[in-house]
Structure 1
Amino acid sequence: MISTKYSPYITFSREAWAKLRFNTPLTLTQSEIQELQGMNEKLSMKEVEDIYLPLTRLLNLYIKASQQLHTVTDEFFGEKTRKVPYVIGVAGSVAVGKSTTSRILQSLLMRSPDHPKVELVTTDGFLYPNDVLNKNGLMEKKGFPESYNIKELITFLTNLKSGDTKVKAPVYSHLYYDIIPNTYQEVVQPDIVIIEGINVLQTPKNEDKTLPSVYVSDFFDLSIFVDADEKDIQQWYVDRFKLLKDTAFTKRESYFKRFADLSVVEAEKVATDIWNNINKKNLDLNIKPTKNRADIIVRKGKNHSVSNIKLRKI
């Protein structure tokens, strides 16, 4: 454990972090882990044991403390109020492994002793539909802050944190590369909600200066940023693109079907161009600057395994 005087974080090496698992049981099998990992990730049992079990233990302790605070508040007011879900934000670049982190955490938290109901919502569903993006000249900026319907996302989170028993989130299809019309994910009385997306720690542009700024992260009880060297993330993106070229892109209904017949060399060039022209710019301008707003920073090495964890001091 490294705690520098002038840093807001305590930094744990992989080895030091792994020791904080204590007696937290591993409740996932190797086959279940394989189903949860990204298509170009090889997530081992040891990775789950060393990184995700201590993280789950910490989250459970935070959630328990939050529940105790809710009970104390009810006692102060002399009335019983509806408990609202504990909301965890997971941020990071395209291709860094946010989705895998979120799915692993969801599965482990669901298997906690009190078996909470854990929902995972991705902010992809709050992208504007392609026809709106095309109309406003934003298709080349898909994933940038301006391509999201932040007002709708804020409304969803407001309703969630207000204790609504059922809230709905739009659904996005990576196959069609678009919002699926009239299709929603229903979130019904969850105990924990994980909000995963590249934009969750970004601050919106407030056009009306007379209104107070409301950030997506204002609704989080805890936030996690998945981090890695940019050159590694780029390679993971290119590798994933080449895998998709031979799998999802070959489907007749795929938006990217035009890339299915590319050679390996051509696919690598196209993926690199997309990275440099879109994803790298978004990472540098809008995602990387939000890293130090997170409560926990999970730093990954070249082979996708986590090298260290930073935990914000309390």
Structure 2
Amino acid sequence: MDIRAPDQRYNPYRIFSREQWAELRNDTPMTLEPGEFSRLRSMHDRLDLKEVEEIYLPLSRLLSIYVDATQRLYYAQRQFLGIRDRKVPYIIGIAGSAAVGKSTSARVLQALLARWSPRPKVDLVTTDGFLYPKAVLEREGLMQKKGFPESYDRARLLSFLSDIKAGRSPVRAPVYSHLTYDIVPNQWQEVDQPDILIVEGVNVLQTAPLPRHGKAVPVVSDFFDFSIYIDADVSVLRDWYVQRFLTFRDTAFHDPRSYFHRYSLLSDDEAIATATAIWERTNFANLEENILPTRPRATLILTKGADHVIETVALRRL
């Protein structure tokens, strides 16, 4: 079933055009300053006042409703059970293909949610830090499958999320460098009991095979209270990936420390051919096999057009 088809009789989603979604902003105030847009925007992604007003402010309003409802349910359950444990963080997962703009969406939501009254603590973690180190991927023959589910230290990621939900403090997440294409040794991001945690990564909605013995098999999304999938047509994603590669060729790849330094002297034709090959071999394969099948598991789906503008919003029915 295509969740984007509004005429599906049993569609589990409500589909909103951009105009319909924008009307749901109501009186949600704009709390971002004009100068913040460039800091929050990823390379080649679009982010301007109109995009925030029409897409992210209504989403911020919706999330405030979900968080408030979850908190009220938690306190009611705590009273029923007669317990006094601390309120655990509300966790939002953001999934989607490489080059689709997950990082921009995650940073914008973090900035908007942190400005709610009474100023909740909002942290952001990417799952890149939970990739196996490059040496391990090379030893296991997984470098061509970096970003696939098997390239992540799943046990470490699940342990991190379990500690977050248990209210432990502080909890440390490994740090990843896109420059060296590897985990940074002895460097950590500390997450100290946030009110809201955003977890961003290509495969955060991945499931696990059903066990024959009936025992629980935990997955990352078990810890999510709300999940977002950012979507675009495959041909558009490929073009964005290639354009991003060309920009990196002219900028970051020139740093001798860059893992991709060898690509810095490629001609346009060579760079396009190289980027397309990498896309087909790794990113498209991962999208087709692992990422796209998880799209219907999301609470909300943001679908972009070729100009990076979000065109439709699909919200799972309650």
Give the C-alpha shift of residue 308 in structure 1.
0.4
1:5 is matched with 9
Answering whether residue 113 of structure 2 is matched by residue 109 of structure 1, we say yes
Aligned to 2:192: 188
CA 178–206 in structure 1, closer or farther in 2 if over 3 Å, else same: farther
The equivalent residue for 1:214 is: 218
Residue 125 of structure 2 is matched in structure 1 by: 121
CA distance in structure 2 between the partners assigned to 1:165 and 1:137 by the alignment = 36
Q: Please list, as runs of the form range in 1=range in 2, the aligned pairs for 1:275-286 lying within 5 A after superposition.
A: 275-286=279-290
Q: Which moved more, 1:71-80 or 1:26-35?
A: 71-80
Structure-2 residue corresponding to 1:227: 231
Q: Distance in 1 between matches of 2:21 and 2:179?
A: 37
Query: Retained in 2: the 8 A contact 1:89–1:217?
Result: yes
TM-score normalised by L of structure 2: 0.95
Q: Which residue of 2 aligns with 1:253?
A: 257
Could you report, residue by residue, the CA deviation over 1:160-219 in whole angstroms, capped at 9, with x for unpaired residues?
111112111111000000001111110001000000000100123589967531111000
2:294 pairs with 1:290 = yes
Q: Which runs of structure 1 show a deviation greater than 2 angstroms over 4 or more consecutive aligned residues?
A: 2-5, 77-80, 204-212
Residues 284 and 33 (structure 1 numbering): CA distance in 2 closer, same or farther, change over 3 Å?
Answer: same
Match of 2:93 in 1: 89
Query: Does structure 1 residue 163 correspond to structure 2 residue 178?
Result: no
1:30 partner SS? coil
Q: Pick one of 59, 63, 70 that aligns with 2:67.
A: 63
3-state SS of 1:307 partner: strand
Q: Take 1:207 and 1:126, find their aligned partners in 2: how far apart are those partners?
A: 24
CA 1:233–1:54 in structure 2 vs 1: closer, same or farther (change >3 Å)? same
Aligned with 1:243 (options 229, 244, 247): 247
Distance 2:13 2:191 in 1: 33
- Distance, in Å, in 1 between the alignment partners of 2:233 and 2:41 is 20
Distance 2:210 2:26 in 1: 45
Counterpart in the other structure of 1:273: 277
Secondary structure of the 2:35 match is helix
Q: 1:311 aligned to 2:311?
A: no
Instruction: Give the alignment partner of residue 208 of structure 2, picking from 192, 204, 211.
Output: 204
Structure 1 pair 11–165 and aligned structure 2 pair: CA distance change class (3 A): same
| Displacement of 1:5 | 3.2
Distance 1:312 1:206 in 2: 24
Amino acid at match of 2:297: R
CA contact (8 A) 1:4 1:10 kept: no
Change (3 A) 1:207 1:174: farther
Residue range with higher mean Cα deviation, 73-82 or 278-287: 73-82
Instruction: Check conservation: 2:211, 2:217, Cα contact below 8 A.
Output: no
Count of residue correspondences: 314
In structure 1, give the amino acid aligned to 2:85: T
Q: Please give the root-mean-square deviation of Cα atoms over the aligned residues, in Å.
A: 1.6
Consecutive unaligned residues in structure 1, runs of 5 or more: none
Match of 1:26 among 30, 35, 42: 30
Q: Deviations over 1:25-65 (max 9, x none)?
A: 11112220111011112311001000000000000110011
Corresponding residue number in structure 1 for 2:103: 99
Gaps of 5+ in 2: 1-5
Output the CA distance in 2 between the equivalents of 1:182 and 1:210.
39
Cα distance in structure 2, aligned partners of 1:125 and 1:175: 13
* Identical columns (%): 53
